[in-house]
């Protein structure tokens, strides 16, 4: 398994995903600065920078980024590479798991760099009081809440073998997430997990407005449920993906 991961690491060094890891945090930071500039001065005890960072990221940026990470790592495998892997009798399960782990690692790097950028700019440039604890919790929740989208992206690509469909489906399904996240049906819609999990952490409504302390959306119960669901959905979809890959290898 470690050898498979090393192989994927070497492949990714000069691939598009290697560039994405460093470009996305910069674009994200500039986008947030632009949004904060439009909003003006943050209310006392609140941070527009944190609100836009952890509200817009799951809606506008992460779905596209995750789609690209998955599409790039899968589509670079040409037919001759796949044929060679079959001849060597390499485990399709291990290959798929290695690709999953690589995308997860790339997502982790993107989120860490983005969070560090947001904290430094907010604390030292905008002079906002940003809690390191909240920043850490929000980043961890955003990371875990994104796992189902990674698995679903692999599933969509395996099912249709079309790059644009992965991006399109994730983009389209993310749009209603802000509305579904505030309903009792949010548990059945993985594209809204991030938004719902982050509500109690950053105290921001999925529509981008600040929450009152008395709002039911501030209940930490949703965090625990959302994190557990994220891991479970990721595992279930990944197992399904492995089954699909096995079926293809026997054709």
pLDDT at 171 over 50: yes
Please tell me the distance from the alpha carbon of residue 157 to that of residue 39, in angstroms, as a whole number. Answer: 38
In angstroms, the CA 118 to CA 102 distance is 24
The C-alpha atoms of residue 22 and residue 96 are separated, in whole angstroms, by 24
What's residue 244's pLDDT?
Answer: 78
Higher pLDDT, 2 or 58: 58
- Residue 221, both tokens: 């119960």
What is the mean pLDDT of the segment spanning 229-233? 97
Give the integer Cα–Cα distance in Å for 211 and 205: 6
Query: Which has the minimum average pLDDT: 19-33, 85-99, 154-168?
Result: 85-99
Is there a contact between 113 and 22 (Cβ–Cβ < 8 Å)?
A: yes
Instruction: Name the token pair of 161.
Output: 């073998």
Burial class (CB in 10 A: 0-12, 13-18, 19+), 44: exposed
* Position 3 pLDDT exceeds 70: no
CA neighbor of 50 nearest in space, from 107, 165, 132: 132
Domain that includes residue 90, residue range: 1-249
pLDDT attached to residue 40: 65
Residue 247's pLDDT is what? 65
As beta bridge partners, residue 122 has: none
204 CB neighbour count, 10 Å cutoff: 25
Tell me: pLDDT of 216 over 60: yes
Summarised one tens digit per residue, pLDDT across range 79-131 is 444 444 554 456 677 778 888 999 999 999 999 999 999 999 888 888 887 88
The Cα 227–Cα 218 span in angstroms is: 15
Q: Count of domains in the chain?
A: 1
Burial of 209 (0-12, 13-18, 19+ CB in 10 A): exposed
């Amino acid at each position: 398994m470690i050898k498979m991961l090393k192989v994927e690491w070497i492949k990714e060094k000069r691939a598009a995903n290697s560039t994405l890891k460093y470009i996305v945090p910069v674009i994200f930071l500039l986008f947030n600065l632009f949004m904060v500039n439009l909003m003006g001065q943050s209310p006392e005890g609140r941070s527009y920078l944190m609100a836009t960072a952890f509200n817009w990221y799951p809606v506008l940026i992460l779905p596209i980024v995750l789609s690209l990470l998955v599409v790039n790592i899968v589509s670079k495998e040409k037919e001759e590479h796949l044929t060679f892997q079959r001849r060597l009798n390499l485990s399709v399960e291990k290959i798929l798991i290695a690709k999953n782990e690589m995308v997860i690692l790339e997502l982790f790097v993107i989120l860490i760099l983005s969070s560090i950028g947001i904290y430094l700019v907010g604390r030292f440039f905008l002079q906002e009081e940003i809690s390191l604890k909240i920043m850490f919790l929000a980043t961890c929740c955003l990371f875990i809440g994104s796992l189902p989208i990674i698995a679903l992206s692999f599933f969509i690509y395996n099912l249709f073998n079309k790059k644009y469909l992965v991006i399109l489906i994730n983009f389209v399904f993310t749009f209603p997430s802000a509305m579904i996240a505030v309903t009792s049906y949010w548990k059945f819609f993985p594209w809204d997990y991030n938004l719902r999990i982050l509500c109690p952490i950053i105290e921001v409504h999925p529509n981008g407005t600040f929450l009152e302390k008395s709002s039911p959306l501030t209940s930490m119960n949703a965090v625990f449920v959302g994190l557990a669901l994220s891991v479970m959905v990721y595992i279930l979809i990944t197992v399904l993906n492995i089954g699909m890959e096995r079926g293809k290898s026997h054709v």
